[in-house]
Amino acid sequence: MALIKNKKLALTLFCIIALYSTWGVVYLSIKFALESFPPVLLSGIRYISAGSVFLLFSFFIKKDRVLPTKSQMTTIFFASFMMIVIGGAFLNISGQYINSGTIALIMGSIPLWMVIVSWLLSYDARPSFSVVVGLIGGFLGVGVLAVSTGVHGGNDAVMGIITLFISMAGWVAGSIYLKRRHSNMYMIKSLGFQMVTGGIIMVILAFFIGEVNSFNINDVTLKAFLSTLHLIFFGSIIGYTCYVWLLYNTPTHIAISYAYVEPIVAVIVGALFGGESINNVTIFACVFIIISVFFVIRDKGKSKN
């Protein structure tokens, strides 16, 4: 029993560290990859590639070749459509219009949205006073950043903010759904089917909206290619796996605690390597969102004990 507990603790720590260190850089990788790849096709390539690695591992290393049941496939399809198709494709689209640091800061408010949605759906109890204060502070930070970005960035920035909120809605819905519909399928195989399913849907969408026909592989730069590889291996294979493992095996407040670190990493990396500016509004939003998420998650963690 002690060995099992120690193994789970080690896996939890590994996943937390991996998630903290990988997802903050993902937004800049998306920015660089979009220099050569159209947004929906980029998501399709990313998730089909990562999902195929998972399925090959399951089929040939784990020797688990049993196909999902109808019930499992329903869960896989809904989760992949919400988190990968809506969450992934619209995230990439927003990356065409606003910088990676802004995206990371707004995405960092996802735990706040999860608390609200879980309460509205009666999955969790009514938020306490401290949680409500945290929610108000966090949404204030998001609102100021979103409005400032839209005002100073024009119509393109407004489109970026809108598509980003659509991406967040998909991510929140899929995360809550997965938490409620825990599957007994081997996690790596489940992730593989989710990613491949979502990736195929996005490639089909990319074909119908003209992205496939307009894409020329000869125009892909080395920076865009390496960034895409980073998205596949670190963003999807490592990051996404760790997130879902934490979602399945730890309390929600631990799984979503990456929101403390991810925005800070993304803003710093974007400024150092992406030429993105850090202004007073960015600092204000960063402080408000991170402090608010801290208080909300801390309160949820106490309520679990």
Q: Report yes or no on 46 lying in a domain.
A: yes
Provide mean pLDDT across the span 93-103: 90
Give the C-alpha distances (Å, rounded to integers) separating 148 from 54, 94, 134, 226.
Answer: 41, 16, 21, 32
Q: How many domains does the chain have?
A: 1
Answer whether residue 11 is part of any domain: no
Domain membership of residue 13 (yes or no) is: no
Give ∠ CA 217-222-225 in degrees, rounded to 5. Answer: 60
Please report the pLDDT score of residue 150 as a whole number.
Answer: 64
Q: Give domain status of residue 18, yes or no.
A: no
Residue 225 has a pLDDT of: 96
Query: How many C-alpha atoms does 272 have within 13 Å on its Cβ side?
Result: 7
Residue 8 in domain: no
DSSP the chain: -HHHHHHHHHHHHHHHHHHHHHHHHHHHHHHHHTTTS-HHHHHHHHHHHHHHHHHHIIIIIS---PPPPHHHHHHHHHHIIIIIIIIIIHHHHHTTTS-HHHHHHHHTTHHHHHHHHHHHTTSSPPPPHHHHHHHHHHHHHHHHHHHHHHHHHHHHHHHHHHHHHHHHHHHHHHHHHHHHS---S-HHHHHHHHHHHHHHHHHHHHHHTTHHHH--GGG--HHHHHHHHHIIIIIIIIIIHHHHHHHHHS-HHHHTGGGGTHHHHHHHHHHHHS-----HHHHHHHHHHHHHHHHHHHHHHHHH-
- Cα angle 189, 195, 201 (rounded to 5 degrees) comes to 135
Q: Is residue 188 part of a domain?
A: yes
How high is the pLDDT of residue 240? Answer: 80
Contact of 239 with 23, CB cutoff 8 Å: yes
Domain of residue 124: give its range. Answer: 26-304
Number of CB atoms found within 10 A of residue 52's CB: 15
Identify the pLDDT of residue 180: 76
Q: What is the pLDDT of residues 111-160, one digit of tens each?
A: 778 888 887 887 777 777 777 777 777 777 777 777 777 666 677 888 99
pLDDT digits (tens, 9 = 90+) for 247-284: 778 776 677 777 667 788 888 888 889 888 888 887 87
At residue 220, does pLDDT exceed 90? Answer: yes
Asked whether the predicted pLDDT for residue 285 surpasses 90, the reply is no
pLDDT surpasses 80 at 300: no
Per the model's pLDDT, the better-predicted residue between 228 and 61 turns out to be 228
Question: Cα–Cα distances in Å, from 151 out to 31, 144, 178, 263?
Answer: 21, 10, 36, 22
Considering the domain boundaries, does residue 14 fall inside one?
A: no
Token pair of 87 as six digits? 């969450």
Q: Does 102 have pLDDT greater than 80?
A: yes
Instruction: Quick: pLDDT tens for 230-256.
Output: 999 998 899 888 887 887 787 766 777
pLDDT exceeds cutoff 80 at 24:
yes
Q: 0.75 exceeded by the pTM?
A: yes
In a domain, 21, yes or no: no
For residues 64-85, give the mean pLDDT: 90
C-alpha distances in Å from residue 112, one per residue of 109, 294, 296 = 5, 10, 7
